[in-house]
């Protein structure tokens, strides 16, 4: 993922994105000031948060459990707002010690 | 057989757009550009031009539609001016940045306030640094010819930038002159159908998907700016080449500048648009009646700026007057600044005089231009200027100065 998107060989004249999944190179999780935390006891695994996440940062794993990818979650809070059983809660990020 | 017809500047533009066989016209008509798109909508309604006409809800919408249409590979035209051009401002940068070869006619008109619909170059000056090329024309025939040249230049791979064809509002847009119209086949030979390159710039193609208009991090933005800058630099040479090809095909050449009697001139007047024609007449009269060696330098291509041509034509003279139909508040005039920039590092350079004229439709007449030449000849003799900025035809009884 650290490989630059454009090089001297392929540098275009317009900033258009020609390859799919180009945004994988930009770990926008570092923009986040609040993070969603899932209460697994409340979660009904309905998947509404998966559908609403604008960054595709929430997914169901093979067991059908909800997983949040903090590399890409920007902390927008849409999942907390949409969750019908209030299983998601935004908490303030604190510096690691 | 070529036909020769009497027509207005706006009609000449519309005829050229028709013969360029554009695919899409989108506009929100504004005086004095209105009749250009009225003619085009008539051509389309009568089946003379197989194009889509998109009546937009504003100029912002019109340029958005042009960007969308050009992004799918259409040859696209629009026309506007003044407040309409100002409302497009944000999108003009997008069109240039996506490297879309849109051609737009700008019937130069003042910007409010004061509100008025008359000619000056304030509107196009606001778009000077947007990445669009700007060509200023002097006659209805040149308006016609320049539209044809503009599509060819904009679509050239080395260039791929949108172009404004600027004509003085009313003075040219609504004045009729004889215009020679070539046959469709001749135009098609010179300007073949637009073939966008999906691998090269913005082309929305389901077989080669891409996302356009997105964000770009600081690590790359300056590089895209450089590419645009470089395209204008290359565009200067490409316009010279295309103008030569046009001359070979149709017998009319314009150059990036026209140097009229500049070779032996002590004093040269630099201007854009219709002022040039009047200035040539005045120069002839002053040469024959007073024996003054005066010349006129017409700037046709304003972006890219014809640095070499300006140096070649003007640096042999003793004094150069730049007559601008635009103001840069707090400094002087943008055209003056550009001429001065081009000359600054030249080993020998003339004295430069800065004249502001013809704002908001104020007539620039022979008497006014004769006074400009007189001051310039005086500066050529003394090597000095009287005032940093001179306002031609200003009513000093009202405002002093």
Please name the member of B160, B212, B221 whose beta carbon is closest to the beta carbon of A16.
B212
pLDDT of residue A11: 87
Match domain B257-399 to its CATH number in 1.10.3720.10, 3.40.50.300, 3.40.50.920, 3.10.310.70.
Answer: 3.40.50.920
CA distance A22 to chain B (A): 10
Q: For residue B79, which of B150, B157, B6 has the smallest C-alpha distance? A: B150
pLDDT of residue A3: 61
Q: Which of A15, A18, A22 to mutate to probe the B interface, most B CBs <10 Å?
A: A15
Could you tell me what percentage of chain B is helix, strand and coil, using 3-state DSSP and rounding each to the nearest 5?
Answer: 40, 20, 40
Would you place residue A91 in the very low, low, confident or very high pLDDT band (cuts 50, 70, 90)?
very high
Residue B337: alpha-carbon gap to chain centroid: 17
Q: Which of B100, B159, B216 to mutate to probe the A interface, most A CBs <10 Å?
A: B216
pLDDT of residue B270: 98
Return the H-helix or E-strand segment holding A58: strand A58-60
Share of chain A above pLDDT 70, in %: 93
pTM, two decimal places: 0.91
Over the range B208-236, which residues count as b (16 or more CB within 10 Å of their CB) and which as e? eebebeeebeeeeeeebeebbeebbebbb
Q: What are phi and psi of B355, to 5 degrees?
A: -115, 130
Q: Strands (DSSP E) along B38-195, which ranges? A: 52-55, 76-80, 103-108, 133-136, 163-168, 176-181
CA distance B159 to chain A (A): 10
CA distance A26 to chain B (A): 10
Please name the member of B160, B200, B214 whose beta carbon is closest to the beta carbon of A17.
B214
CATH 3.40.50.970 correct for B3-250 = yes
Does the beta-carbon distance from B220 to A17 stay under 8 Å? no
Residues of B in contact with A18 (CB under 8 A): 208-210
Alpha carbons B215 and B400: distance in angstroms, whole number? 51
Q: By CB neighbour count within 10 A (0-12 exposed, 13-18 middle, 19+ buried), where does B264 fall?
A: exposed
Nearest CA in chain B to A8: B223
Would you place residue A97 in the very low, low, confident or very high pLDDT band (cuts 50, 70, 90)?
low
Does the beta-carbon distance from B227 to A13 stay under 8 Å? yes
Residues of A in contact with B224 (CB under 8 A): 13-15
Over the range B366-399, which residues count as b (16 or more CB within 10 Å of their CB) and which as e? eebbbebbebbbebbeeeebeeebbbbeeeeeee
Alpha carbons B334 and B315: distance in angstroms, whole number? 20
pLDDT of residue B63: 98
Which ranges of chain B have pLDDT less than 50? none
The domain locations on chain B are 3-250, 257-399
The domain locations on chain A are 34-92
Question: Which CATH fold would you assign to the domain A34-92?
Answer: Alpha-Beta Plaits (3.30.70)
Does the beta-carbon distance from B224 to A15 stay under 8 Å? yes
Average pLDDT, chain A: 90
pLDDT of residue B372: 98
Does the beta-carbon distance from B202 to A14 stay under 8 Å? yes
pLDDT of residue A6: 78
pLDDT of residue A26: 82
Alpha carbons B369 and B275: distance in angstroms, whole number? 9
**Contacts (Cβ under 8 Å, ≥6 apart) of B1:** B183
Residues of B in contact with A14 (CB under 8 A): 97-99, 201-202, 212, 224
Q: For residue B12, which of B120, B107, B141, B134 has the smallest C-alpha distance? A: B141
Would you place residue A1 in the very low, low, confident or very high pLDDT band (cuts 50, 70, 90)?
very low
Residues B36 and B80 sit within 8 Å (Cβ to Cβ): no
Does the beta-carbon distance from B160 to A17 stay under 8 Å? no
pLDDT of residue A41: 96
Residue A2 has pLDDT above 60, yes or no: no
Count of residues in chain B: 401
């Amino acid at each position: 993922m650290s490989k630059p998107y454009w090089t001297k060989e392929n540098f275009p004249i317009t900033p258009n994105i020609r390859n799919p999944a180009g945004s994988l190179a930009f770990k926008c999780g570092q923009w986040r000031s609040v993070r969603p935390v899932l209460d697994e006891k409340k979660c009904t695994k309905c998947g509404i948060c998966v559908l609403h996440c604008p960054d595709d940062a929430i997914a169901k794993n093979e067991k059908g459990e909800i997983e949040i990818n903090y590399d890409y979650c920007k902390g927008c809070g849409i999942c907390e707002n949409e969750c019908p059983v209030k299983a998601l809660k935004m908490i303030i990020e604190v510096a690691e010690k | 057989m070529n036909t020769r017809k009497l027509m207005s500047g706006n009609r000449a533009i519309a005829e050229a757009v028709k013969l360029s066989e554009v695919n899409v016209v989108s506009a929100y008509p504004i005086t004095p550009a209105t009749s250009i798109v009225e003619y085009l909508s008539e051509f389309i309604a009568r089946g003379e031009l197989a194009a889509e006409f998109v009546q937009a809800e504003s100029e912002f919408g019109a340029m958005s539609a042009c960007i969308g249409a050009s992004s799918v590979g259409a040859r696209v035209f629009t026309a506007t001016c003044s407040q309409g051009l100002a409302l497009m401002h944000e999108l003009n940068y997008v069109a240039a940045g996506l490297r879309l070869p849109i051609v737009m006619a700008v019937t130069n008109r003042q910007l409010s306030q004061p509100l008025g619909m008359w000619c000056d170059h304030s509107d196009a000056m606001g778009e000077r640094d947007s990445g669009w090329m700007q060509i200023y024309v002097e006659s209805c025939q040149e308006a016609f010819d320049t539209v044809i040249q503009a599509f060819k230049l904009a679509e050239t791979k080395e260039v791929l930038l949108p172009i404004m064809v600027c004509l003085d509002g009313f003075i040219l847009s609504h004045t009729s002159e004889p215009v020679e119209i070539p046959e469709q086949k001749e135009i098609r030979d010179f300007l073949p159908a637009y073939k966008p390159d999906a691998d090269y710039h913005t082309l929305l193609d389901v077989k080669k998907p891409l996302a356009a208009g997105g964000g770009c991090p600081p690590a790359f933005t300056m590089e895209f700016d450089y590419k645009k800058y470089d395209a204008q630099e290359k565009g200067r040479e490409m316009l010279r080449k295309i103008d030569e090809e046009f001359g070979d095909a149709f017998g009319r050449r314009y150059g990036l500048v026209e140097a009229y009697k500049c070779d032996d001139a002590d004093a040269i007047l630099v201007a854009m648009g219709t002022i040039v024609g009047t200035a040539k007449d005045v120069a002839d009269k002053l040469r024959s009646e007073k024996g003054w060696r005066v010349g006129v330098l017409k700037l046709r291509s304003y972006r890219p700026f014809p640095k070499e041509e300006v140096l070649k034509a003007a640096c042999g003279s003793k004094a150069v007057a730049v007559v601008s139909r635009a103001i840069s508040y707090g400094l002087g005039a943008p055209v003056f600044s550009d001429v001065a920039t081009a000359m600054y590092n030249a080993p020998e350079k003339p004295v430069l005089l800065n004249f502001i004229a013809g704002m908001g439709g104020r007539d620039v007449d022979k008497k006014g231009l004769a006074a400009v030449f007189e001051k310039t000849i005086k500066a050529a003799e003394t090597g000095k200027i009287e005032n940093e900025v001179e306002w031609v035809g200003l009513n000093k009884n009202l405002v002093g100065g």
